[in-house]
Amino acid sequence: MAKTTKSTRVTARTVTIHDQKLERGEGGELHQTASGKASVLTTAQGGPVSDDQNSLKVGPRGPTLLEDFHFREKIFHFDHERIPERVVHARGYAAHGFFETYKSLAKYTKADLFQRAGEKTPAFVRFSTVAGSKGSVDLARDVRGFAVKLYTQEGNWDIVGNNIPVFFIQDAIKFPDLIHAVKEEPDSAFPQAQSAHDNFWDFISLTPESMHMVMWVMSDRAIPRSFRFMEGFGVHTFRLVNTKNESTFVKFHWKPKLGLQSVVWNEAVKINGADPDFHRRDLWTAIKTGNFPEWELQLQLFDQDFADKFEFDVLDPTKIIPEEILPPVPVGRLVLDRMPDNFFAETEQVAFMTQNVPPGIDFSNDPLLQGRNFSYLDTQLKRLGSPNFTHIPINAPKCPFAHFQQDGHMAMRNPIGRVNYQPNSFGEGPRESPQRGFTPFPEVVEGEKRRLRAESFADHYSQARQFFISQTAGEQSHIAAALTFELSKVKIPAIRERMVSHLLNIDETLASKVADNSACRRCRNLPMQPCPRVRISILPQP
Amino acid sequence: MENGPERFEGRKLGILVTDGSDAGILKALKAALDKAGATFEIIAPKVTGAKASDGSWIDADQMIDGGPSVLYDAVALLPAADAMGDLLLESSARDFLADAFAHCKFIGYVDAALPLFEKAGIASDDFDEGCISIASAKAAKSFVDGLAKLRVWEREPHVKMP
């Protein structure tokens, strides 16, 4: 066989392109070759690559050869770079940091991270919009996700919250409808990342439980100036459970050290054109220049007695407990001090799940929370493609862990030894611990099996009104202007009218202002019939 | 708004400069911003920057097209009189000011910038407490101190129909 040392490149001339020295191939293409400190390019199998500018052909103008494994592998991998974007909260941005406990909360919870003053727990926080796709603009009028993953010594704890303390719906069974309605319409595929269209307001106008949330999402909070200037909320009522198995209800609040700040709508629209990554750039720049954003974790703590006396149901995620009635208590601080090295590896692959709670944190029966606890595993499997998504470093616990789950796609961390079950008689492998393990609060629950909404969930307007009247005159006019704008994009007059009739139950001045300004020519001055406080029948509704 | 942060810390001022901009005022703005824990970007007709009144070079972060005022929490206009002819021809300079005014932002200005207000449709009797002359280094410092309020919401009824 003929022996050759000839380069695959027929001839190569060194050329200077301004400040760069490269080699020029036969077709005028430029080659940067390995020399000095530059490492040698390889395939994913580790094989060194001689030429990354030209595929393998028969003659310079001939067809490309199937045997060109480097080309095949390169294109193959490129074609598979995308994973499904999140079905909601697709547009997000995240940072690393830590949570520091101020003082022991052992009185309320056995959660390990709350036992010692000064304890620092690693954290990863992802902010997001809800409706828009991964490439949508940052300043959409929308709720912002505020998802916090705390890598505690007893497992990951995810507080998967929002920048608004309430939600549109009371039961997770309505979530697909809500999201279908707000996302682009299925036939036209527009408008994206906007609630200002017929489908959204049609659904909302037929969903009176959303009215409180509508007031918040039409407020300045839905167009924040920066992730750094937003509050965060756990939304639902949770439980803290101590070593004596005593439960305290809790609502989680994140308060930004630099205060709340929003932009105005006309400004938001222009920011979206001038810098669609406005919030990303802001967080990136702040952290990269050492201006670490900080939030204080504050808890609203209450017992069953308070819950029973409170005029709204603490299990209803469309209601808040006003801070004037129950002042939140500061318990720690969250500092974000490091951007991910790679967006995909961490921000895109991070898997938040409401059901990730350590011992000492427990759920309430909030039907939205219960549904979320069920849903998140499915979404991670769909998006990340394997039950081994916990092997991805950003999702792996940072505490010791051991179990017998094995195999599956892309298993990165595999057990060693013969035992992969228990009980076993080899004295190998991990075992359950009634002392340290998660035990749910032993709440007594009974009742008939029915599809029923609790009557205690039926007041949809009082807190919407309370929120509206709590706002300054300027903020109230922003809410009116936002509603007017949104409804001005609604083509069907009946939908606008329906919304105005809801608003009449919230605030008459607001309703008439929106009616006047949104060209609601035929608006009847009739409030929407609120749900009667006492229902006559408990048969399946309505 | 009521529970606003009352601080400019972590916020950003957009400073519009041209050739001949007053180096002393610029220096005073930067020092005051630094003290407040705030940042700034320099916007110039050309991204290469501009030559200040004292002959020093001001590096720009944005050319005027790329740095509209919506990207900043407040703005300062430091053009030199000689540069106003070109600036008045540039619609994005007009938008820079008109938007800052419409979005109820604080606007610091030197006298040379006054024709730009007219171009932006802001008459002299539209001037309010948020339009602040920064003709001296001292005035520039007190302008930055006043930015903690973040926005001039009192202006809003004059720029938005009810």
Residues of B in contact with A260 (CB under 8 A): 3-5
Are residues B10 and A274, on separate chains, in Cβ contact within 8 Å? Answer: no
> Phi and psi dihedrals of A303, rounded to 5?
-105, 180
SS (H, E, C) A418-454: CCCCCCCCCCCCCCCCCCCCCCCCCCCCCCCCCCCCC
Taken in order of first residue, the domains within chain B and their CATH numbers are 12-147 (3.40.50.880)
* In the predicted structure, residue B53 carries a pLDDT above the cut 50: yes
Q: Does B125 touch chain A (CB under 8 A)?
A: no
Model pLDDT for residues B71-81, shown as the tens digit of each residue: 999 999 999 99
pLDDT at residue A162, rounded to an integer: 98
Q: Let me know the angle formed at the C-alpha of A239 by A233 and A241, rounded to the nearest 5 degrees.
A: 135
The residue among A266, A278, A336, A471 with the most chain B CBs within 10 A of its CB, best to mutate, is A266
Nearest-CA distance A278 → chain B (Å) = 8
B89 interfaces chain A, CB cutoff of 8 Å: no
pLDDT along chain A (542 residues), means of 10: 50 90 95 93 98 96 97 98 97 98 98 98 98 98 98 98 98 98 97 97 97 98 98 98 97 97 98 98 98 98 98 98 98 98 98 98 98 97 97 98 96 92 95 96 95 95 97 96 96 93 94 83 62 49 44
Q: What is the pLDDT of residues B72-113, one digit of tens each?
A: 999 999 999 999 999 999 999 999 999 999 999 999 999 999
ipTM exceeds 0.85, yes or no: yes
Residue A537 pLDDT: 46
Chain pair A-B, CB pairs under 8 angstroms: 61
Domains of chain A by start residue, with CATH? 92-391 (2.40.180.10), 461-517 (1.20.1370.20)
Please name the member of A271, A293, A477 whose beta carbon is closest to the beta carbon of B70: A271
Q: Cβ(A345)–Cβ(A393) under 8 Å?
A: yes
Provide CB contacts within 8 A for A415, sequence distance 6+.
A404, A406
Give A236's DSSP letter. Answer: S
Q: Looking at the complex, report in whole angstroms how far the Cα of residue A157 sits from the nearest Cα belonging to chain B.
A: 29
Please give the residue of chain B at the shortest CA–CA distance from A277: B71
Tokens (6 digits) for B11? 């916020």
Contact between chains at A261 and B162 (C-beta distance less than 8 A): no
Write out the residues of chain A at the interface with chain B, using a CB-CB cutoff of 8 A: 220, 225-226, 228-229, 258-261, 263-264, 266-267, 270-271, 274-275, 278, 285-286, 289, 291, 293, 472, 474-475, 477, 481, 513
CA A366 – CA A235 distance, rounded (Å): 10
Q: In angstroms, what separates the C-alpha of B12 from chain A's closest C-alpha?
A: 10
Cβ neighbours of B102 (radius 10 Å): 23
> Counting every residue, how long is chain A?
542
Mean pLDDT score across all residues of chain B: 96
Active site positions of A, annotated: 89, 162
Show the CA angle centred on residue A196, arms to residues A190 and A199, nearest 5°: 65
Residues in B closer than 8 angstroms to A272, CB to CB, are none
Report residue B6's pLDDT band, with 50, 70 and 90 as the boundaries.
confident
Q: Determine, for residues B68 and A293 on separate chains, whether the beta-carbon distance falls below 8 Å.
A: no
Q: Decide: A15 and A23 in contact? Cβ < 8 Å.
A: yes
Contact partners, residue A411, CB within 8 Å, separation at least 6 = A388, A391
- Interacting residues of B54 by C-beta distance below 8 A, sequence separation 6+: B23, B24
Q: With an 8 Å Cβ cutoff, are A258 and B153 in contact?
A: no
Can you give the pLDDT at residue A519? 54
- Scanning every residue of chain B, which has its alpha carbon at the shortest distance from the alpha carbon of A263? B103
